[in-house]
Each structure stands twice: as structure tokens, then as C-alpha cells.
Structure 1
């Protein structure tokens, strides 16, 4: 496989953009948690856990999507595109609905797992879509994990230093990106 081929470079850019879009949840929610004031060791633990979930969820999704793609054949690309459109629209809707939710203690092990799962669950859906397209599974999983972990630590650190300026707009930006990829797959 030639890593310098235009196809591979295009695939790398597309996966990287999707990884950033999915990492927006971790960034924006990390800002909110970071604004409460947390220790650096906790930031590191939570970010590593988020990175692991950002790897496990799309991997499970890609395995599921590969099977679904095998069953659906040529329809798989359209189904994957529809899933991305729905996920992107859902992310945008959630970011603007404006409900104040009661925050749980994210410093407990259970709280960290729930938080990591909540910011990574959309990676499963994207993984299902990507599994239908038979992309590079290892590259996707590693990039999703690295970007998710880096964006979560950036959000936690930014939140501890700055204020509330990105908040729900981070999730909305991620939703727009996923929606655009879904529309691209449909046409």
C-alpha cells in the first residue's frame, strides 16, 4: 500500500476531519468540567480514558458496519451517509437545545467512565458508517483515539484557564462536519 498515493492522503484527511468533529464533544464538555477546577493528574486520567473509548467505540462500530455492509452490498454507502447525516443533525440539535443538565461527579471512576462513554458514543455510529466503506480500520481507530484524547485534555486545560466561550458551539461544529460528510456520501 502506497501511503503517498492521492487516495491514501484523501482517506487520511477525511478520517482526521471526522476525528476532530467527534472530538468536539470531548473538547466542549472538557471545557465545562475544567472550569470547575480540577487537578492535572485527573485531567490526564480522564483524557486517557476518553482516548481508549474513542478507539473502542469506532472499532466496535466498524466491525458491525463491515458486517452490515456485507449484507447490504451497494446500498451500504447510502445507509452510511444517512447515518452520518442523522448523527450530525442530532449533535447540532443537542448543542442548541439549551437544557441545563445536572452534572455528576466526574472525578469518581464511575463518573469518568460515564463521561468518556458519553463523549465517545457517537464514534460508534460513525464507525458503523465507516465499516460499510471498508476503510483502513487501524488508521481510523488510532486517529480517533489520539484526537479524542488530545481534544479532551485541551478542553480540560482550556476550561481551567478560560471561561465559557466555546461551550455548545463545539458540538454544533462537529455536527456540521458529520452532516457534510453524510451528504457527500449520499451524492
Structure 2
């Protein structure tokens, strides 16, 4: 019974970690994104959700406690800036984005939504839980939840037109505020 409880705990934790990617993915998906790009974005987010806890296992608690606050503030400010820029550009009718989900923007997006899995990785190493299974589930859940969010956002974009950019930017800005506070 203990093994089943551990598996259920890991699956719940993986779902919770993937919900960050889901929330931000809704906002990103409201931009015009092709299906091929959606697949790539979800895959990259999943990879980051595998590597960040893996890195957390090795860096240790001291480094995490020193850097975690700065990284969280940075990610919250970045999400607020992207959200604000999306809303602002809607009113100006501009298409250039501060951080589009391509190239370095994709890496920053994946890094931002996987920061919480870094600190979880540290605690996994200390708890003795089935680490390999947990890390694989983190990646799998975040990848699938990102795909779902991007597809929902893409569909909403077509239904709402220009207002979807405002909604998407508001979601990103609100999530950035949530991260900060």
C-alpha cells in the first residue's frame, strides 16, 4: 500500500507542477501559433521539467536557498512584462512580441515555468522517493498540460480575435503577479 501511495503522491505533484505550464500556456496559446510550434513548445517545457529537478538534486539546499528568491522574482517580472506587452501591442496593432515562444523566448518560457520543479528536485533527493519515476512524470505531465493549454488558447484566439491577445496578456500578467506575491 505504501508504494501505491507514493505513486499517487508523485502523480499529484507532477500535475501540480504542470499546472504552471498550463496557466502560462493558455496566454501564450492565444497568439497565432502553428500546431508544429505547439508540439515543440510542449516538448521543450517537458524537457525543462525533467532537467530542472535533476539539476536540483545535485546543487543542494544551500545554493537553492540563496538563488531561489531572485529567480522567482525574475520569472514573475518577466511574465508581467510579456503580459503587459501583449496587451499594449493589441491597442497599438503591433505584432512584434517582447518574448515570442521561439528561440531564446521559448527557452525563457520553459525555464520560467519549470523553476518550481528545481526546488522540488532538491527535496526529492532528500526524501528518497523514486526519483527517476518522479522526474519522468514531471516532464510528461508538464508537456501534456502545455499542449492542452496551447491548443485551448489557440482555439480561443480564433473565437475571440484581437480580444484574445488582451485576455492572453492579462493571464500572463496575472500569473506573473501571482508568482511575485
Quick check: TM above 0.5?
yes
- Output the CA distance in 1 between the equivalents of 2:13 and 2:50: 13
1:152 aligns with 2:146: yes
Query: Which segments of structure 1 move beyond 3 Å, counting only runs of 4 or more?
Result: 98-103, 163-168
Structure 1 residues 135, 171: closer, same or farther in 2, change over 3 A?
Answer: farther
Gaps of 5+ in 1: 1-5, 69-82, 176-187
Q: Give the TM-score normalised by the residue count of structure 2.
A: 0.68
1:59 aligns with 2:54: yes
Please give the residue correspondences for 1:1-187 in structure 2 after superposition, counting only pairs within 5 Å. Answer: 6-65=1-60, 100-102=83-85, 103-107=98-102, 109-162=103-156, 164=167, 167=171
SS at match of 2:114: helix
Q: Give the TM-score normalised by the residue count of structure 1.
A: 0.66
- Output the CA distance in 2 between the equivalents of 1:122 and 1:159: 23
Root-mean-square deviation (CA, aligned residues, Å) is: 3.4
SS at match of 1:31: helix
1:156 deviates by 0.4
Structure 1 residues 167, 142: closer, same or farther in 2, change over 3 A?
Answer: same
Specify the alignment match of 2:160 in structure 1: none
- Output the CA distance in 1 between the equivalents of 2:121 and 2:175: 18
Q: Count the aligned residue pairs.
A: 147
What CA deviation, in whole Å up to 9, does each residue of 1:55-90 have, x standing for no partner?
A: 00011112345xx5xxxxxxxxxxxxxx8xx99xx8
Gaps of 5+ in 2: 86-97, 157-163
